[in-house]
Amino acid sequence: MNKGTQEIVVQADALREFVSVLYQKVGVFKEDADAVANMEVETDLRGVYSHGTRAMPRYVHGIRSGNLKARPDMQIVKEGASFALLDGDRGLGYMAGIQAMNLAISKAKMTGIAAVGVRNSEHFGAAACYSMMALEHDMIGFATTNTGGTSIVAPGGITPVVANNPMSYAIPTKDEPPIVLDMACGISAWGRVGTMSMYGEKIPDGWLLSKDGQPTNDPKVGRIMLPAAGPKGYGLAVVMGALAGPLVGGLTACLKKDSEPSEHFFYALNIESFVSLDEFTETMDETIRIIRASKTAEGVKRVYLPGEIEWLNRQKFLREGIPLHKNHLDSLANLARQLEVKVFWESS
């Protein structure tokens, strides 16, 4: 099926306002709703549809069911000059993540580097949302989260033992697009598997196992995922689960039950504390240009830097609108009707 026939193009500003209103309808303060909506739409603009507004109904249903708080009372429970621990009070993970990363950035301005952990929170969307916050302050940002239940096997195993924890670094540049690494420790994000399934795309060999440990290309059967690059992705998942887990007073994924909260971990690194910003960013720009100009394999037009494809998507979608799958928009429309909110893309 032609991918374009499955999509509807919507404008970013209209989508932001729509999503914010939906959150406000379930009790989220407007300021918080605007901030969360902006992060979700920014993720769609980067073409990472699995972690943008498509996940919104899940969060809203969590609020309506009482599993999430629309207005959490988040508290700093421990704090020092270059660290803090925040209790998210089972609110939206976005809200805790924004507060935590802002706090890390503020502290890093004074100390050079600062880390903030979050416990008692929930899913926070794409990790890049938070690492990229540091770019506006000429800092390197890092974010990871403990996504909850186990779904990734150890190399050679068929029992899931770690979560598909993501990790993201954002690195400033001068004139070139910033370096933004956002990767799952599994061979793919589960949300990407869902997106591929939505578009009717085949899941590649070597990604998924059935519950019995048998290889499968069927996303409806695949419940277990292999780690990225075998022992490397597995090792990273263990480490990310330690940072966003026991370090902040939470649990590793294999110790969690279904209803356990999520934990997050962030840090910001102030470049000027180590070297002049101009020196750093000019060197990064030169590095990017050399990599981009490198010789390619037969049939490959060019190579890309981490985050460059998403940066290019954003420029294009800001001009032309965001192409979203009809099923993606149908889920938002169904939620809007429940909350008596006008569905803007159906009015034209």
> Which CATH number goes with the domain that contains 81?
3.30.1370.60
Given a contact cutoff of 8 angstroms between Cβ atoms, the answer to whether 26 and 36 are in contact is no
Residue 89 sits in the same domain as residue 208: no
Residue 29 sits in the same domain as residue 158: no
| pTM, 2 dp | 0.96
In-domain check, residue 310: no
In-domain check, residue 182: yes
Split into its structural domains, the chain has a count of 3
C-alpha torsion sign, points 4, 7, 10, 12:
negative
**Res 329: pLDDT:** 97
Residue 137 sits in the same domain as residue 164: yes
In-domain check, residue 307: no
In the numeric block, which tokens belong to residue 331?
A: 């889920």
In-domain check, residue 24: yes
CATH code assigned at 30 = 1.10.1530.10
Express each pLDDT in 1-37 by its tens digit.
456 689 999 999 999 999 999 999 999 999 999 999 9
**Res 1: pLDDT:** 45
Residue 154 sits in the same domain as residue 273: yes
Residue 104 sits in the same domain as residue 144: yes
Express each pLDDT in 318-336 by its tens digit.
999 999 999 999 999 999 9
83-87, strands of its sheet edge to edge = 75-80, 83-87, 113-121, 262-270, 139-146, 166-171, 179-184
Residue 306 is given by DSSP the state: T
The residues pairing with 162 across neighbouring beta strands, listed in sequence order, are 152
C-alpha torsion sign, points 273, 278, 279, 285:
positive
Angle at the Cα of 190 from the Cα atoms of 196 and 186, rounded to 5 degrees: 120
**How far is the C-alpha of 159 from the C-alpha of 253, rounded, in Å?**
13
Q: If you average pLDDT over residues 106-126, what whole number do you get? A: 97
Give how far Cα 325 sits from Cα of 106, 124, 316, 345, Å: 38, 22, 17, 13
CA-wise closest residue to 116 among 100, 105, 130: 100
In-domain check, residue 342: yes
**How far is the C-alpha of 253 from the C-alpha of 152, rounded, in Å?**
10
Task: Find the domain containing 35 and state its range.
Answer: 1-71+320-348
**How far is the C-alpha of 130 from the C-alpha of 265, rounded, in Å?**
10
CA-wise closest residue to 49 among 215, 199, 217: 199
Residue 182 sits in the same domain as residue 274: yes
In-domain check, residue 309: no
Residue 238 sits in the same domain as residue 160: yes
Q: How confident is the model at residue 347 (pLDDT cuts 50, 70, 90)?
A: low
Residue 169 sits in the same domain as residue 282: yes
In-domain check, residue 250: yes
Q: Among the three residues 225, 251, 283, which one is the final residue of a domain in this structure?
A: 225
Q: Among the three residues 207, 225, 243, which one is the final residue of a domain in this structure?
A: 225
Residue 282 sits in the same domain as residue 144: yes
Residue 153 sits in the same domain as residue 168: yes
CA-wise closest residue to 267 among 145, 167, 142: 142
**How far is the C-alpha of 126 from the C-alpha of 32, rounded, in Å?**
17
Task: Give phi and psi for 166, each to the nearest 5.
Answer: -90, 165
The residues pairing with 83 across neighbouring beta strands, listed in sequence order, are 80, 115
Q: Among the three residues 225, 254, 278, which one is the final residue of a domain in this structure?
A: 225
| Strands annotated E in 188-326 | 208-209, 215-216, 224-225, 262-270, 322-325
Express each pLDDT in 47-106 by its tens digit.
999 999 999 999 999 999 999 999 999 999 999 999 999 999 999 999 999 999 999 999
| 336 Cβ neighbours under 8 A, 6+ residues apart | 18, 22, 342, 343
**Res 271: pLDDT:** 98
In-domain check, residue 301: no
Residue 183 sits in the same domain as residue 194: no
**Res 183: pLDDT:** 97
CATH code assigned at 212 = 3.30.60
Residue 155 sits in the same domain as residue 284: yes
Q: If you average pLDDT over residues 128-140, what whole number do you get? A: 98
